[in-house]
Amino acid sequence: MAADTLYTLLRDAVGSASLVEALPRQMARAPSWLDPNADTWNVAPLHRRSDKKIWTLDFTRVSHPELQAVARAHAVWSIVERQLGPQSLSASLYVFAHLGQRLGARPLQTLRTEDFHAVEQDIVSHYAERTSARMCADLQRVAAWLTRQTGLRLDYRSMRRAPAAHGREATDDGRAAKLLPDSVIADLLNARHLPDLPDRDRFYLSAIAISVATGFRLGELLTLPSDCLIQDRGALLVRSFVSKHGKAAPRPVPPELADIVIDAVDHIRDVTRPAREKARTWAEHAPIDWAAIIRDPDPTAFEYFVRRWLSDWIANPVNRIIDPRCAYFSCGDRSQWVPLADLLDAHGGNISAVSREVGIGRASMSRLVAQLEASRRGEVYLGKKTAESRRAFDTDRRIPSIMAFKALTGRNLQNSPRNARLADLIAEARDAQIKQTEYPSPHQDLALEERCRVAPEVLRDPETGEAVLNLHEALFVLFKNQLSDTHVVDTGRIKAVSINQFNHWLAGYKRDRGTGKPGDALCARLGILDPRTEEPAKLTNHDFRHWLETAYENGGMSQTQIATLFNRSSSTSNSVYDHTNSSVRRERLKDAMADGLLIGHAAEAYVRIAEESPEDATAYLESAVKFQNPMPHGICRLNWALEPCPHALSCFSCGDAQDDASEPCEHLIVDTTDAAQIDQIAQIHCNAQSIVQIMTDDGAEDSPQLAQFQRIARSTRSILTKAGRP
């Protein structure tokens, strides 16, 4: 087994725990590239983006030897059982590093819940509120995993909760601050048609138009296929590659925005078509990926490819040093081989006549004649240069140089640790070329060459490693510098548009902020103002997702419909994106209650009052929905800021224990049209019934807990019956 060393370390650390028993089975399903015994793992293949070549997990950060072995096993488990990506693996490793510092020299078996609380305090003291809350959540997950897998008795629950800055659970001020004004959205959509708009702005504004209409995450937006549009019976849909384990389904486009999306996609296709067509040729023979070679911590590939480049350079006839019929002339941007022998024969050896014909000065022509004579003797003409000087030949285009390497790769290694080695290799090749000695090419390594080629794919399946989107199939693919006004387009380098590229265009660079230069923020350059501040709008691509979901909420869509539209596995994430203010919610609640769509004491009271006095019913309705607190199973009408819950947050166990028709809390309102609420109540009902059955079988008829769960079962059954749920 490849994990023999890790297996031994784990057995010594935790004995015969389930963690040790499961390791062989998990390693059999682990990726072939994974070496569990290595100190560092490159988990980049687990990333969806193919351009991620290196993502290192450094287990030496966990100073405690036993805990380090457990951290490796946790990473194997996370990869095999949970299919987690590099970000999650890095977050968990950070937790293990903190725990290792806390353990010190103590054995792993002495790890206690108190240690987790101490680590929590350390995290809170060093990080911001939201960051520490996220890290403590990772700490809690690690504690639960250790309890299950190692037999340690840990009961850690993180008490850190970051306050909701926006969404359904936040304040009206927080929601208003997060939601982009409609005028900003309109200005961004209209900006695509501004006269004299730079090509770069028009390209990315078209991307924004797609984002506004679909709400794609930025990673999803930039990995759209070129044939992403689907016309289905008059409806427009956009197919994409969903992230975060979402449900794969085409994204519907609101009919009002369909023409905008079609126009935006057509424009992007036109701009990216040349790069896409060239990328198609890479599918069979991709070029060498010098960027990855230079970044690779192992110098083997760098040494191999630089030596091969130098060997090919010297072997190229264009770069010859000796020619018995021609002389090499170089001055400024002009470099050429002059057929000097033929010219001298034609002019009877008159150097001045030859000089006038080719437009080269008399002194330079004399040096060319000396070069020709040296070549006929089989010697290299050096003039005033010395063969030992490294810099004497920097301007000779026939001789390899740092500048020639930069032109080949597009990379400046001045601040790279590879720079010194590159200079030595070039000097070695120069000596061989000038002294006319052999410079052998390295023995061909086909496996290394294949591994170091540019990946023609944009997205891959982390589980199988197979490409799911190639460069020639992607919508957002460009030549290097294609949208630049200041740099020459490099048609030899093709890249998918990255998240950083988009963000730098949208938010600008700090050095250019407020200057109006191309590096300034988009809204500042185009004069798109936020009406709330009368200053340039500040936004991210994710804000369009918040804006679109709020529009769907205000349009009356159910939570299940919204979750389906955004490819979510459940509707629980909807609340973060809902920025509907309280007044709109109250009106919506009033309308639903008046239409008889709600269940609860307040809804039934409204119906009774309305039968006798519609005016009184309207007044009651105003007071009944003044406050609303969303919960998974309904809405609470209490003002939680001023009134404590009279039932200790137990909405379904409020009735009399002897009442066979027990009802839920009088403050609870349930929306019968919200499938998520009804599903939650059905789950509570099922759990309550199971607990009642177990306690009855155990003879606990006199237990107050049994009576409580009986009330829960009756009240939830009452709601499900009224909602028409069998």
Residue at 472: amino acid letter: H
Say how far residue 403 (Cα) sits from the centre of its chain.
34
Q: Which helix (H) or strand (E) holds 120?
A: helix 113-126
- Give the confidence band of 102 by pLDDT, cuts at 50, 70, 90: very high
Contact 74, 96 (CB under 8 A): yes
* pLDDT band with cut points at 50, 70 and 90 for residue 467: confident
Give the pLDDT of residue 553. Answer: 86
Question: pLDDT tens-digit profile of 328-339?
Answer: 888 877 788 888
593 and 673, same domain (yes or no)? yes
Rounded CA-CA distance 591/583 in Å is 12
Q: What is the CA radius of gyration of the chain?
A: 35
Domain contains 197: yes
Could you tell me if residue 379 is inside a domain? Answer: no
The model's confidence at residue 1, banded by pLDDT at 50, 70 and 90, is: very low
Identify the band that residue 57 occupies on the pLDDT scale cut at 50, 70 and 90.
very high
Q: What is the pLDDT of residue 42?
A: 92
- The residue from 150, 167, 198 where one domain ends is 150
Residue 186 has pLDDT above 80, yes or no: yes
| Residue 294 vs residues 53, 305, 410: alpha-carbon distances, Å | 12, 10, 11
Q: Which of 12-16, 69-73, 122-126, 584-588 has the lowest mean pLDDT?
A: 584-588
505, 612: one domain: no
Position 683 pLDDT exceeds 80: yes
Average pLDDT value for the chain: 87
Q: Are residues 42 and 139 in the same domain?
A: yes
Q: Is 80 exceeded by the pLDDT of residue 640?
A: no
Instruction: Give pLDDT, residue 660.
Output: 56
For residues 56 and 39, what is the distance between their CA atoms, to the nearest angstrom?
A: 10
Residues 663 and 711 in one domain: yes
Residue 58: which H helix or E strand, with range?
strand 56-58
pLDDT recorded at residue 661? 56
Q: Looking at the structure, do residues 585 and 708 belong to the same domain, yes or no?
A: yes
Give φ, ψ of 496 to 5 degrees: -75, 145
Q: What is the mean pLDDT of residues 274-281?
A: 92
Residue 393 maps to a domain: no
Euclidean distance between CA atoms 124 and 139, whole angstroms? 12
Residue 91 lies in a domain: yes
> Model-level pTM?
0.75
Count helices and strands (H / E) in the chain: 29, 17
Whether residues 10 and 146 share a domain: the answer is yes
Asked whether the predicted pLDDT for residue 312 surpasses 90, the reply is yes
Nearest by Cα to 504 from 487, 491, 492, 522? 522
Tell me the per-residue pLDDT of 471-496, one tens digit each, with 9 for 90 and over.
999 999 999 899 988 888 888 888 89
Same domain, 146 and 189: no
pLDDT value for 3: 66
Cα separation, 537 vs 250, whole angstroms: 31
Question: 10-24, 119-133, 512-526: which range is least confident on average?
Answer: 10-24
pLDDT at 658 over 80: no
Residue ending a domain, among 127, 150, 173, is 150
513 in a structural domain: yes
Say yes or no: 126 and 19 in one domain: yes
Are 138 and 202 within one domain?
no
CA distance 544 to 178: 10
Model pLDDT, residue 198: 93
Answer with the one of 150, 168, 198 that is the final residue of a domain. 150
The parent domain of residue 23 ranges over: 4-150
* Structural domains in the chain (count): 3
Q: Are residues 467 and 585 in the same domain?
A: no
The answer to whether residue 626 is domain-embedded is yes
The verdict on residue 46 lying in a domain is yes
Residue 505 has pLDDT above 70, yes or no: yes
Chain center to CA of 534: 32
CB-count burial class (<10 Å; 0-12, 13-18, 19+) for 20: buried
Q: Is residue 357 part of a domain?
A: no
Contact 494, 282 (CB under 8 A): yes
pLDDT tens per residue across span 598-622: 788 777 887 788 778 878 877 777 7
The segment with the largest mean pLDDT, out of 81-95, 627-641, 690-704, is 81-95
707 and 621 belong to one structural domain: yes
Residue 656: pLDDT band (50, 70, 90) is low
Q: Which has the minimum average pLDDT: 99-103, 172-176, 390-394, 534-538? A: 390-394
Helix residue spans in 151-257 (DSSP H): 172-178, 182-190, 199-214, 218-221
Question: Is residue 587 located within the same domain as residue 696?
Answer: yes
pLDDT digits (tens, 9 = 90+) for 368-379: 888 888 888 888
Higher pLDDT, 76 or 391: 76
